[in-house]
Amino acid sequence: MSQQITYTEDNIRHLDWREHIRIRPGMYIGKLGDGSSADDGIYVLIKEVIDNCIDEYVMGYGKQIDISVKDGIVEVRDYGRGIPLGKVVECVSQINTGGKYDSKAFKKSVGLNGVGTKAVNALSNYFKVQSVREGKAKVAEFEQGNITKDHKLQNTTDDNGTLVIFKPDDSIFKKYSFRTEYLEQQLWNYAYLNAGLKINFNGKTFHSRKGLYDMLSNKTQAETLRYPIIHIAGEDIEVAMSHGNHYGEQYYSFVNGQNTTQGGTHLNAFKEAIVNVIRKFYNKNYDAKDIRSSIVAAISVRVEEPVFESQTKTKLGSQDMGPDGPSVRKFIGDFLDRELDNFLHKNEEVAKELQRRIQQSERERKEIAGIKKLANERAKKANLHNKKLRDCRVHFNDPVKKSDEDKRNATTVFITEGDSASGSITKSRDVETQAVFSLRGKPLNCFGMTKKVVYQNEELNLLQHALNIENDLEDLRYNQVVIATDADVDGMHIRLLLLTFFLQFFPDLVRNGHLYILQTPLFRVRDKKVTYYCYSEAEKQEAIRKLRGKAEITRFKGLGEISPGEFKDFINENMRLEPVVLQDATDLEQLLSYYMGKNTPDRQEFIIDNLRVELDEVEDKIEIEEAMEGVAELAEA
Tell me how far apart the alpha carbons of residues 203 and 65 are, in angstroms, rounded to a whole number. 12
Strand ranges across the sheet with 237-243: 230-234, 237-243, 295-301, 250-255, 258-259
Same domain? For 185 and 124 the reply is yes
Lowest-confidence region among 379-393, 499-513, 547-561, 618-632: 618-632
Strand ranges across the sheet with 434-439: 389-390, 434-439, 412-417, 480-483, 515-519, 576-579
Same domain? For 276 and 157 the reply is no
Q: pTM to 2 decimals?
A: 0.76
Residue closest to 85 by CA, chosen among 52, 154, 127, 133: 133
pLDDT, average across residues 115-139? 92
Q: pLDDT tens digits, residue range 482-528?
A: 999 887 778 888 888 898 899 888 888 888 889 999 988 888 999 88
The H-or-E segment that residue 458 falls in is helix 458-467
pLDDT at 634: 47
Burial class (CB in 10 A: 0-12, 13-18, 19+), 40: buried
pLDDT at 155: 95
Side-chain half-sphere CA neighbours of 508 within 13 A = 21
**DSSP per-residue letters across 528-593:** SS-EEEESSHHHHHHHHHHTTT--EEEE--SGGGS-HHHHGGGSSTT-EEEE----TT--HHHHHH
Question: Are 300 and 212 contacting, i.e. CB atoms less than 8 angstroms apart?
Answer: yes
The three-state DSSP-derived secondary structure of 384-450 is HHHHCEECCHHHHHCCCCCCCHHHHHHCEEEEEECHHHHHHHHHHCCCCCEEEEEECCCCCCCCCCC
Angle at CA 514, nearest 5°, toward 242 and 204? 65
Residue closest to 300 by CA, chosen among 36, 37, 54, 30: 54
174 found inside a domain: yes
346 found inside a domain: yes
243 found inside a domain: yes
Question: Are 508 and 247 contacting, i.e. CB atoms less than 8 angstroms apart?
Answer: no
Tell me how far apart the alpha carbons of residues 232 and 273 are, in angstroms, rounded to a whole number. 14
Tell me how far apart the alpha carbons of residues 120 and 165 are, in angstroms, rounded to a whole number. 10
Lowest-confidence region among 196-200, 273-277, 567-571, 623-627: 623-627
Q: How many domains is the chain partitioned into structurally?
A: 4
Same domain? For 31 and 146 the reply is yes
Tell me how far apart the alpha carbons of residues 553 and 526 are, in angstroms, rounded to a whole number. 7
Question: Are 196 and 147 contacting, i.e. CB atoms less than 8 angstroms apart?
Answer: no
Specify the higher pLDDT residue, 191 or 33: 191
Phi-psi region of 272 (alpha: psi -120 to 50; beta: other; left: phi over 0): alpha
Same domain? For 329 and 346 the reply is yes
Same domain? For 264 and 285 the reply is yes
Residue closest to 232 by CA, chosen among 245, 220, 244, 242: 242
Residue closest to 85 by CA, chosen among 8, 15, 178, 162: 162
The H-or-E segment that residue 219 falls in is helix 212-219
541 found inside a domain: no
Same domain? For 87 and 197 the reply is yes
Q: Directed axis angle between helix 588-596 and helix 601-616, to 10°?
A: 80
Q: pLDDT tens digits, residue range 194-210?
A: 999 999 999 999 999 99
Query: Pick from 206, 225, 257: which residue ends a domain?
Result: 206
- For residue 326, give its domain range: 212-365
pLDDT, average across residues 532-557? 88
Is the predicted pLDDT of residue 111 greater than 60, yes or no? Answer: no
pLDDT at 282: 96
pLDDT, average across residues 53-65? 90
Same domain? For 163 and 276 the reply is no
pLDDT at 364: 87
Is the predicted pLDDT of residue 177 greater than 80, yes or no? Answer: yes
* DSSP type of residue 273: H
Same domain? For 53 and 187 the reply is yes
CATH number of the domain that 502 lies in?
Answer: 3.40.50.670
550 found inside a domain: no
Question: Are 340 and 232 contacting, i.e. CB atoms less than 8 angstroms apart?
Answer: yes
Same domain? For 511 and 393 the reply is yes
Q: Directed axis angle between helix 180-193 and helix 212-219, to 10°?
A: 140
Is the predicted pLDDT of residue 193 greater than 60, yes or no? Answer: yes
Same domain? For 54 and 201 the reply is yes
Same domain? For 443 and 314 the reply is no
CATH number of the domain that 165 lies in?
Answer: 3.30.565.10
545 found inside a domain: no
> How many CB atoms are located within 10 Å of the residue 388 CB?
21
Tell me how far apart the alpha carbons of residues 359 and 278 are, in angstroms, rounded to a whole number. 12
When pLDDT is cut at 50, 70 and 90, the band that residue 623 belongs to is very low
Strands 295-301 and 250-255: parallel
1 found inside a domain: no
